[in-house]
Amino acid sequence: MTQLIVSGVTLTFGGLHALSNVNITIEPGLITSIIGPNGAGKTSLLNCVSGFYHPTKGEIKYGDRRLTHASPHQVSSIGIARAFQNLELFRGLSVLDNLLLARHQKLRYNILQAIIYFGKASRVEAENRAYVEKVIDFMELELYRKKTVGNLSYGIQKRVEVARALTLAPKLLLLDEPMAGMNIEEKEDIVRFILDLKKEWDITIVLVEHDLGVVMDISDQVYVLDFGEVIGSGKPKEIASNPEVIKAYIGEE
């Protein structure tokens, strides 16, 4: 299992500092939550890790690999997957087709093998289809597998978004507000999936979430961002009593 280290990462857009000297260590096998008020830089940090943004300063390493200037494709190819806050699904396709399409980088055969569709090509396609079916079963999407994504409820679409990331067979899963806009029952389902991914699938989870009740219940480690800076880190109980965190969320008289 591999450790993710974010060292001194600064991200600027013109004169705006989205992140300032951020240092975070994601220990393998744990659920690490990143919390903070709106605009604190949480999604910007995930964008840097997943290759959508490149830090102005600092370094990002996953094991012995430098990800500071890696592309999203390079990041996903080494076992890091991302579920987005805003749904990034093909609304006109079925759940099954969305997941099969997300699995495309695992299709390792040449053009001739694809044309003939015999031997390696058919075997690889079968293996990928089997893995997608495993994800559908785990995320309890059997009833929706042939339904058009755009016709599904928002809660189910969020579940498909997580499933899409899982099709890449990640070792590190970045979840950007996977419970946003959900009711209590839908949140409970996602929490159960996250805990099972850690326990049964041996996946390291990085969770950005505004529901502090969920964060405190399921996290092993918590980092708090405010105005692009880390203002607190530690176990959930330590974070709950941290005066800087309380000030950032509640304010002071």
Is the domain of 162 the same as that of 184? no
Q: What is the pLDDT of residue 241?
A: 86
d(CA 114, CA 175): 34
Q: What's the domain count of the chain?
A: 2
pLDDT at 13 over 80: yes
**Residue 16 sits in a domain of what CATH number?**
3.40.50.300
Looking at 129, 144, 168, which one is the last position of a domain?
168
d(CA 74, CA 69): 10
In terms of Cα–Cα distance, which of 142, 146, 134, 4 is closest to 62? 4
Higher pLDDT, 248 or 121: 248
Joined tokens for residue 25: 């260590």
Tens digit of each residue's pLDDT (9 = 90 or more) over 99-132: 988 876 655 554 545 455 555 656 666 788 888 9
Tens digit of each residue's pLDDT (9 = 90 or more) over 158-174: 999 999 999 999 999 99
Specify the DSSP class assigned to residue 55. -
Kindly give the residue spans of alpha helices, DSSP state H, lying in 117-220: 120-138, 154-166, 184-199, 212-218
pLDDT at 1 over 70: no
Asked if residue 84 belongs to a domain, the reply is no
Tens digit of each residue's pLDDT (9 = 90 or more) over 27-47: 999 999 999 988 899 999 999
Q: What is the pLDDT of residue 243?
A: 86
Binned at pLDDT 50, 70 and 90, residue 244 comes out as confident
d(CA 34, CA 209): 7
* Three-state secondary structure call for residue 206: strand
pLDDT at 3 over 60: yes
Is the domain of 14 the same as that of 45? yes
Is the domain of 235 the same as that of 187? yes
Is the domain of 251 the same as that of 225? yes
Joined tokens for residue 140: 């309890």
Residue range of the domain that includes 106:
89-168
Report whether 182 contacts 158 (CB < 8 A). Answer: yes
* Three-state secondary structure call for residue 94: strand
Joined tokens for residue 185: 């029952």
Is the domain of 131 the same as that of 54? no
* Three-state secondary structure call for residue 132: helix
> With pLDDT > 70 as the criterion, what percentage of the chain qualifies?
89
pTM for the full model? 0.88
d(CA 176, CA 46): 8
The helices-and-strands tally (H runs, E runs) of the chain is 10, 10
CA dihedral 189, 240, 46, 159 (to 10 degrees): 10
Asked if residue 101 belongs to a domain, the reply is yes
Half-sphere exposure of residue 14: CA atoms within 13 angstroms, side-chain side: 1
Q: What is the pLDDT of residue 112?
A: 47
Joined tokens for residue 129: 């289809």
